[in-house]
Amino acid sequence: MPSPRTDAAPEARSGIQVIERMMKLLDVLSYHPDPVSLKQLALETGLHPSTAHRILAAMTTSGFVERADPGTYRLGIRLLELGNVVKSRISIGQAAMPLMQRLHQQLGESVNLGVRQGDEIVYVERTSSGRSSVRVVHLVGARAPLHVTAVGKLYLAEDGPQKLREYAKRTGLPGYTPSSLTTLAALEREVDRARRHGVAFDNEEIEQGLRCIAAPVRDDSGELVAGLSVSAPAERHSPDWAAIVKQTADAISLAIGYTPPAGH
C-alpha cells in the first residue's frame, strides 16, 4: 500500500497551472465576438484539445463559459454578474473628486457632483470655493428640483419630451426666484438647448445671485449617472466655463468606463 503523500507542492503547482490555463482560455474567448470552436481555442492557447476541453467543461459548469452549438464556446453570464459586483464598488465620487479638485483650482469656484433621485437632484460631492459671499445651496446631501438646477435639466433632456411633460404635470413647476422656469414651454426650450449643446445652465433659478453650468457624466453603458456643475455668484460667473466643465465631466466618464461613440 503506497504511503500518503507528504509533499503538497506538486499539487499546488498543478492547481496554479490549471488557473493559468483557464485565464488563457478566458482571454482568447474575450477576443472573439462570436462563439469559438474547441480546435481554435486549443490552437490560440497552445493547449492540447483534451486539456482545453476538460477545463472548458469545468468552467461551463460554474457559468464562466457557455457552450454554444455546435461544439463552440463563449464567455458565460457569471462573468457579467461578477463584473456588476465590481462595477457597483466603483464610486463615481471617488473617481470624480481628483478631477473636481483640479477644476476647482482652475476656476476658483464651487464644483458639485449631483445625482438624480426621483424628481430631485441630490448633491453627493462638492469642493468649496471658500470665497462665495452668496449662500450656495449645493451642500453635500442637499436636494433641489430638477427644473431649477443645471444638473436636473441634463436629466430632463435625457428623459425626452414625453417624460418632461409628465414631470411638469406631476410637479407643477414651482418657482423659487423670479428667474425660475415655471411654464412647460420655457422649460422645453431650455431643456432642448441642453440636449443640443451637451451642457445645461441655471440662471439664478433656485437662488438669486447664483448661476451654474453643468455637464453629463456617463457610465460604461452610456447611461447618465451624474452631473458635474460649477456654481458661482452671478457677477463672477462666465458662460465660457462651459467647455472646461464639459471636458472635466467627459474625463470623469472615461474614468468610470464610458467609451464615447466613434467620431466623438
**d(Cα 119, Cα 38) in Å, to the nearest integer?**
52
Report which of residues 236 and 7 the model is more confident about. Answer: 236
Overall average pLDDT of the 3-20 stretch: 69
135 band by pLDDT with thresholds 50, 70 and 90: very low
For 12-70, write each residue's pLDDT tens digit. 677 888 899 999 999 999 988 899 999 999 999 999 999 999 999 999 999 999 998 77
**What pLDDT sits at residue 69?**
79
2 band by pLDDT with thresholds 50, 70 and 90: very low
Greatest alpha-carbon span in the chain: 94
**What pLDDT sits at residue 85?**
67
Domain 90-255 CATH assignment equals 3.30.450.40: yes
Flag whether pLDDT at 173 surpasses 70. yes
For cell 497552445, the residue is 46
For cell 472548458, the residue is 56
For 199-247, write each residue's pLDDT tens digit. 999 999 999 999 999 999 999 889 999 999 999 999 999 989 999 999 9
Out of 3.30.70.141, 1.10.10.10, 3.30.360.10, 2.60.120.10, select the CATH number for domain 9-85: 1.10.10.10
Q: What is the mean pLDDT of the chain?
A: 88
Flag whether pLDDT at 257 surpasses 70. yes
- Of 207, 250, 249, 236, nearest to 107 (Cα)? 236
E strands in the chain: 36-37, 65-68, 72-75, 110-117, 120-127, 143-145, 200-203, 210-218, 224-233
- The predicted model scores a pTM of 0.66
4 band by pLDDT with thresholds 50, 70 and 90: very low
Residue 138 is classified by DSSP as -
Segments making up each domain of the chain, as ranges: 9-85, 90-255
Please name the residues in contact with 35: beta carbons below 8 A apart, sequence gap of 6 or more.
Answer: 68, 72, 73, 74
